[in-house]
Every structure is written in structure tokens, then in C-alpha cells.
Amino acid sequence: MVRSKAGIEKYANLSGVAYTMCITLSFINEQFSKYQFQSPQEFKYYLSECILKELFIGKLLKTLQSTKNIITIKDAVNYFASQDGVS
């Protein structure tokens, strides 16, 4: 928990930056243009899903590099990731 005045101010500033980023990024980058007039919560959810998938797939591939079936597993992961359009 945030307990000091400085901590509360930093948290409020971070929250404001995140909100502003969610509003403006959809107008700046054409990849996110379908979220231009959506709520910031929907866009934040989409971004969090993208980041989660990238981190999960990256960690999975990193741990599987020592196995012999890396090509087969990598192809399967890429196939499932491409189904959402997020990769």
C-alpha cells in the first residue's frame, strides 16, 4: 500500500499517465486504430493481454531452447498466437 504523501502523488501521476497513454496511443499508432473511440479500460485490457502473451511465449521459448523438439513446439506456439492476431 502507498502510505506517504509522496507515494500517493507518484501513484496518482502514474495513473494519469496510463490513462492518457490509453487515450492517445490509439490515435498515434494505426495498429490500435480500432480502439480510437473505445473506453480506456478496453484498450488497457487489450494491451495487457498482448504483453502477457509476449512474455509467456518469450519465456516458454527460452526454456525450450535446450530440447530437441523446439521447432515443433515453436511452430505450435506461433500457430496459436497467430489465431488472435497478437504475436
Please indicate, yes or no, whether the overall pTM of this predicted structure exceeds 0.75: no
Report residue 71's pLDDT band, with 50, 70 and 90 as the boundaries. low
Q: How high is the pLDDT of residue 87?
A: 45
Which distant-in-sequence residues (6+ apart) come within 8 Å of 7 by Cβ?
none
The number of domains in the chain is 1
Residue-range definition of the domain harbouring residue 77: 5-84
Report residue 69's pLDDT band, with 50, 70 and 90 as the boundaries. low
Question: Distance between CA atoms of 51 and 70, rounded to whole angstroms?
Answer: 22
Q: How high is the pLDDT of residue 85?
A: 56
Question: Is the CB of residue 32 less than 8 Å from the CB of residue 26?
Answer: yes
User: Tell me: the pLDDT tens digits for 2-57?
Assistant: 688 888 899 899 889 888 888 888 899 888 888 888 888 888 888 888 888 888 87
